[in-house]
Amino acid sequence: MAGEKNKEKLILDSAVALFTTKGFQSTRMEDVAKRAGISKGLTYFYYKNKEDLFMALTKKAFDQFKEEFREVLRSKGKNGLEMITDLVGKIVFFSKEHPVYYQAILHFLDVLKKYNEPAQRMEIDPLILDSIHFHKLLEIHHEPVKLGIQMVSIGIKDGSIRPELQPEITFYTIWSMIIGFEKMSGPVGYEGKEAKISAEAWLPGFIKLMQDMLRGTIQASRPAIVQTSLF
């Protein structure tokens, strides 16, 4: 059993390396087998096709992603808002250090959106739908979110996050903001942009705005009305 697990890990690690350097479309199963130092037939024994392999990689990505959440939740002496702040930093770091895993997670979210709509489900590659790892993902993909919701609930309870917020809606909103942050890093970092914002100020400013929203410190202010006389 241990030998089988080692071979599966070897294949997955080889796939990650190749997807990083060559991309998913340009990588063949024989390329993965060659890099892993095993036969092509043995590679197909563990994974039926490249789509099945990618779904297995995506599950591994979610498992590792969940560990980032758990690590934050296990931290001592921090309130809920501090946990959420730490989590934002961890997710941003995860996206940069493990780009293939992070993109696999985002890809699965796109697939799941189609899967939830019967009319669009037929647009999903049948090889993905046939993958046992895809069906495992349907069962476990929400686990990181559950931990994030728990952090928001802790913050509401300890007073670091304003009490009228609904934990589930709040965390899904935070995660959508983080996804947007990562996607906008390209435009923000582009030197030819007209907007006056530096890449260095982007993350601190993003975190501060998120914290203000969660604390409830953002308030609209009306211009002061000064009564004067024309005479």
Domain borders along the chain are 1-47, 50-189+197-215
> Looking at residue 5, what is its pLDDT?
65
Out of 3.10.129.10, 2.60.40.60, 3.90.1150.10, 1.10.357.10, the CATH code matching 50-189+197-215 is 1.10.357.10
**1-47 and 50-189+197-215 agree in CATH topology:** no
CA 53 centroid distance within chain: 20
pTM here is 0.86
Cβ-contact 51, 131 below 8 angstroms:
yes
Sign of CA dihedral 28, 30, 31, 36: positive
Would you state the CATH architecture of domain 1-47?
Orthogonal Bundle (1.10)
What are the tens digits of pLDDT across the range 2-56? 456 688 889 999 999 999 999 888 999 999 999 999 999 999 999 999 999 999 9
User: Taking residues 179-205, what's their average pLDDT?
Assistant: 80
Alpha carbons 217 and 152: distance in angstroms, whole number: 17
b/e map 181-214, b = 16+ CB within 10 Å: bbeebeebeeeeeeeeeeeeeeeeebbeebbebb
Where does the pLDDT of residue 225 fall: very low under 50, low under 70, confident under 90, or very high at 90 and above? Answer: low
Picking from 214, 124, 110, the residue whose alpha carbon sits closest to that of residue 160 is 214
